[in-house]
Amino acid sequence: MRAIRVVTAALLGVGALAVTAPTAQAHGDNSGFWATVLPTTIAPGGQVRLRATGCEQSVTVSSGVFDTVTIPRGRTTATATVDRDAKPGAVYEVSFYCGTFWQTVDLTIAGGRPERPHLPQHGVRAGAGGSLAGLDLKEIGLGAVLVTAVLGTTYSLSGRRTDADQDGA
């Protein structure tokens, strides 16, 4: 009977870890696939070099600031011409697709400043910082409740038997 309790407790513990472990996004699952854009800041009408490594097939590269480009299988680079009407100071996302995996890189358009003349200049604006940036407090709370519940259940199921339980066995 004790073996069943131990196995049940172990399975609950493993299940809790599986449920509460952070999930990997599709674009982070392929650690061998890397993408870069050079230069990372470019003037409107300029050419950028697109580089993708670690993909065994053709890579499709798209962005709102240039036409879609394909890096053929067996090659690692291609070039793209930035639209001449790209807004100076804007940051565009460049997406590299390797089958079901993708990565994104930011491309900044040179020659401009954000249009905020009425706002006073301030120092650096710090965010939440570290690993807390972008986390949802509801998800953290729910995860803490789930972990606490599973640990409590595991403890109660794997606890030592009382004298009364041992006499009846």
Residue of higher predicted confidence among 144 and 87: 87
pLDDT score, position 144: 82
Q: Indicate whether this model's pTM tops 0.95.
A: no
Please check whether residue 6 lies inside any domain of the structure.
no
Please check whether residue 53 lies inside any domain of the structure.
yes
Percent of the chain scoring above 90 in pLDDT? 44
Please check whether residue 40 lies inside any domain of the structure.
yes
Positive or negative, the CA dihedral 49, 52, 57, 62 is negative
> φ and ψ at 104, to 5 degrees?
-120, 145
pLDDT score, position 111: 81
Q: The domain that contains 106 carries what CATH number? A: 2.60.40.1930
Residue of higher predicted confidence among 40 and 1: 40
pLDDT at 63 over 70: yes
Please check whether residue 37 lies inside any domain of the structure.
yes
Which 3 state secondary structure label does DSSP give 99?
Answer: coil
What is the chain's length? 169
pLDDT score, position 164: 58
**Confidence band (pLDDT; 50, 70, 90) for 156?**
confident
CB within 8 Å of 45: residues ≥ 6 apart:
81, 82, 83, 84
Average pLDDT over residues 30-38: 84
pLDDT score, position 81: 96
**Confidence band (pLDDT; 50, 70, 90) for 26?**
very low
Please check whether residue 82 lies inside any domain of the structure.
yes
Please check whether residue 18 lies inside any domain of the structure.
no
Please check whether residue 41 lies inside any domain of the structure.
yes
Please check whether residue 19 lies inside any domain of the structure.
no
CA distance 100 to 86: 29
If one counts the domains in the chain, the total is 1
Range(s) of the domain holding residue 47: 24-112
- For 87-136, the pLDDT digits (tens) are 999 999 999 999 889 999 999 999 865 444 444 444 445 444 445 555 56
pLDDT score, position 134: 56
- Inter-axis angle of helices 2-20 and 137-158, nearest 10: 170
